[in-house]
Amino acid sequence: MQDDPQKREIINRRHFSFRLNLFFFVTFALFSVLIVRLAILQFVEGPTLSAEGLRKATRSDKIPPIRGNIYDSSGYPIAYSTSTQSLYFSIQPELKLEDAKQNAREMAAKLLKVFSEFGDKDPAKAMTVDDIIRQMDLDFRRNNISTPRRIKSGLTNDEIAYFMENRTAFKGIDIMEESVRNYDTDTIAVQLVGYLKKYKGIRETVDFYKEKTMEEDETLQYLEEEDVGMDGLEFMYQDVLRGKNGLKTYPVNNAERIIGPMQITTPEKGSDIYLTINKNVQLKTEAAIMDQLKIITKSTNKYERAAYAQTGFAVAMEVDTGKVVAMASMPDYDPNIWAGGSISQADYDNFSNILSNGTIRTVYGKYTQEEMKEHPSSILPPGSTMKPLSVLIGLNEKLFTTSTRYTDTGRFAYGRKGYETYIGNSQGHIYGSIDGAGAIEHSSNPFMAAMIGNKLYMRGTQKGKSSVEIWDSYMKQFGLGVLTGSGLPNETKGIIEYFKEAESGSAQSALIQASFGQQGRYTTLQLTQYAAMLANHGKRMKPQFVNEIKDSDGNVIQGYTPEILNEVQFPLEYWREIETGMSKVKSQGFEGVDYTYRRKTGTSEQSVAGRTAENAVFIAYAPADKPKLAVAVVVPDGGFGAYGASPIARKIFDAYDEEIGLYGVPKKKANDNANANGAAGTNQNANGENAGNAGTGANE
């Protein structure tokens, strides 16, 4: 049967209509998708794509920020940044690479001629053509083709004028303002302040700077040639001092060639920090240490003579605020040797042993590696300066009372019969019947051994704690064997030895030796914090170094707040007991003082290379009735504390009294005031606080 033509036509028309409708529907859908996509591109992704396109069409070179300054408490600049004009060279991108390099070499010769004629005449600063070409980095070892190269810093006014007048003859040359770090030539607290190094040299080795490599904000990204804090406060306050980068932005084409004018965003200066350190007190502290080292190494007095002494360390901290007004690690050095972020091999060889801050970590005298084994470092046993705390522990643990008497026969024995160990007094002294205060006054080792160390051991475990753990708890509460909280980089906790002695020897031996200042080695800052606790009756103050921080406009953005880290509560009669003893300790150098003070001398012993090294240690605070300042002095190999360290402390107290005032008014101002009634009513000698300063013999 044949198909009906009419039906076939109808079917064909239906199929055609369907295909046509489908075509129009698909076309409509595609146009709808296209319109929606165009709308997304324009209104949603448009700004991002536009910015990305602009980014690809521009290049930004970061300009290092101006580093903030560091001032002392009076506003005197210790570390400061000065502006300098630097010359930069950009490789001409419109030229072929070889032509650009040849052009750069020709430019180097022209620059040398200008430098020679108009530059600094100091031979040490002279440059050669090879020096200039090296700075141009024509092999792209440090920079890409579009990055300007710094050729020379510290341009003279004549050089600047010449380049400005002859711009057309020096295509690719720019002059930009930069900062240079300067340190006061008086070398004020240099190890505390720290120094700078090049970012490129430490970015992969210092964790703090490793994190900076991931910074996305261009204004905070570090530059390879930037000088950054490497130690001390320069490192501790790096983020505060640094500021923000400036930007030099210019358009480029696909070949990375500059095609338009440059735009410059000025760098943002970092904030300034004002220290608690007083310049004059600090400098007098430094001088006192160096003067004393000269005296004791040459003295003919057998008690004063200390031939091996090479270094000395001192910290002075306000008792109620924790402000550190002086921190000296001597000898020191001129930090300007780090100018440019590096140090010469000769300078490193000369000063490597004193670059670190010996008041918070290990520092030796200028010894060879082999000689170091024969001398103690800056971290020492406290010696008899531990005795006030030992007496407090004995009283608080009820091992004796303030009225208990002990007969000092000159020595105390412990251990198995026939194998006894004897503990004696310095110079073989015998003190007879003494109490806790008398034991501090005379520095009785037998009292400490018998009444504290041995009794604590004999009593045994208390509330689940061994006797050594009880001792350790007191040490840490007084800041010995723990960080001081200062926040200074690389500060050490000191070295605890009584646990090791308890394991290898006996707990009895560990506690007896610890009671008179052995079995632990601590830093000068720790001893100062401890002395301040004795003065303020148990408040462990956080040592602080910054009074305030100001932004580049002079606005205060951070002030000072004292911080108590922990507090120890003892009955007042216990404090009075140690104060009575500390008021009578003999100490050289304090003759004729017109303020009251309490103190404790110490001569800590260390076995080094087969000999016993004697280290001079001294702690004190003043005035006695209302303590204002606590001081600790340490002189490794310095002999008796009364002779090697005490005179240094006297000069520190005098300097503080002169500049700030132990009684609230600087003595130099009081003396200038005709209406002042002396130096705040000083020249006291109440309760025998200044009695027995000097003596012909020596205890400690």
Higher pLDDT, 619 or 123: 619
Q: How far apart are CA 328 and CA 358, in angstroms?
A: 8
Contacts of 644 (CB under 8 A, 6+ apart): 292, 296, 304, 306, 309, 616, 635, 638
Q: Hunting for tokens 């340190």 — which residue is that?
A: 183
pLDDT the model gives residue 678: 46
Residue 638 has pLDDT above 60, yes or no: yes
Residue 699 has pLDDT above 80, yes or no: no
pLDDT the model gives residue 340: 64
CB 531 within 8 A of CB 620: yes
Quick one: average pLDDT of 67-91? Answer: 90
pLDDT the model gives residue 41: 65
pLDDT digit string (tens) for 295-322?
999 999 999 999 999 999 999 999 999 9
521, 304, 535, 523 alpha-carbon torsion, rounded to 10°: -20
CA neighbours within 13 Å on the CB side: how many for 133?
12
pLDDT the model gives residue 676: 44
Q: How far apart are CA 355 and CA 191, in angstroms?
A: 6
Pairing of strands 312-318, 629-635: antiparallel
pLDDT the model gives residue 45: 60
Share of the chain above pLDDT 90, in %: 57
pLDDT the model gives residue 224: 82
Identical topology for domains 58-275 and 279-336+358-688: no
pLDDT the model gives residue 674: 41
pLDDT the model gives residue 489: 95
Quick one: average pLDDT of 439-455? Answer: 97
pLDDT digit string (tens) for 512-568?
999 999 999 999 999 999 999 999 999 999 999 999 999 989 999 999 999 999 999
pLDDT digit string (tens) for 641-665?
999 999 999 999 999 999 999 998 9
pLDDT the model gives residue 213: 86
Residue 256 has pLDDT above 70, yes or no: no
CA neighbours within 13 Å on the CB side: how many for 300?
0
In the structure encoding, which two tokens stand for residue 503, read together? 């394991």
3-state helix, strand, coil in the chain (%, to 5): 40, 20, 40
Higher pLDDT, 210 or 348: 210
Prior bond of 647 cis (ω within 30°): no
Query: With bands split at pLDDT 50, 70 and 90, how would you rate the model's confidence at 670?
Result: low
CB 389 within 8 A of CB 382: no
Residue 680 has pLDDT above 60, yes or no: no
**Looking at 153-167, 252-266, 554-568, 627-641, which range is the least confident one?**
252-266
CB atoms within 10 A of CB 98: 8
Query: With bands split at pLDDT 50, 70 and 90, how would you rate the model's confidence at 673?
Result: low
413: left (phi over 0), alpha (psi -120 to 50) or beta: beta
CB 662 within 8 A of CB 623: yes
Domain boundary assignment for the chain: 58-275, 279-336+358-688
pLDDT the model gives residue 97: 74
Residue 120 has pLDDT above 70, yes or no: yes
Residue 182 has pLDDT above 80, yes or no: yes
Query: With bands split at pLDDT 50, 70 and 90, how would you rate the model's confidence at 488?
Result: very high
| CA angle, residues 475, 476, 477, in degrees to nearest 5 | 95
Burial 340-365 (b: 16+ CB within 10 A, else e): ebebeeeeeeebebbbbbbbbbebbb
In the structure encoding, which two tokens stand for residue 243, read together? 């500021």
CA neighbours within 13 Å on the CB side: how many for 695?
17
Q: Hunting for tokens 């529907």 — which residue is that?
A: 25
DSSP class of 336: G
Reported pTM: 0.82
Residue 332 has pLDDT above 50, yes or no: yes
pLDDT the model gives residue 672: 65
Quick one: average pLDDT of 504-517? Answer: 96
CATH hierarchy code of domain 58-275: 3.90.1310.10
Share of the chain above pLDDT 70, in %: 89
Q: How far apart are CA 291 and CA 589, in angstroms?
A: 13
Higher pLDDT, 370 or 389: 389
Quick one: average pLDDT of 349-374? Answer: 87
Mean pLDDT, all residues of the chain: 87
Residue 50 has pLDDT above 80, yes or no: no
The backbone torsions φ and ψ at residue 643, rounded to the nearest 5 degrees and listed phi first, read: -105, -40
Q: How far apart are CA 400 and CA 404, in angstroms?
A: 6
Q: Could you give the 3-state DSSP secondary structure of residue 398? A: coil
* Most confidently predicted of 350-354, 411-415, 631-635: 631-635
Contacts of 131 (CB under 8 A, 6+ apart): none
Q: Hunting for tokens 């000191």 — which residue is that?
A: 494
Query: With bands split at pLDDT 50, 70 and 90, how would you rate the model's confidence at 494?
Result: very high
pLDDT the model gives residue 31: 81
Residue 683 has pLDDT above 50, yes or no: no
Residue 59 has pLDDT above 90, yes or no: no
**Looking at 251-260, 262-271, 406-415, 427-436, which range is the least confident one?**
251-260
CATH hierarchy code of domain 279-336+358-688: 3.40.710.10
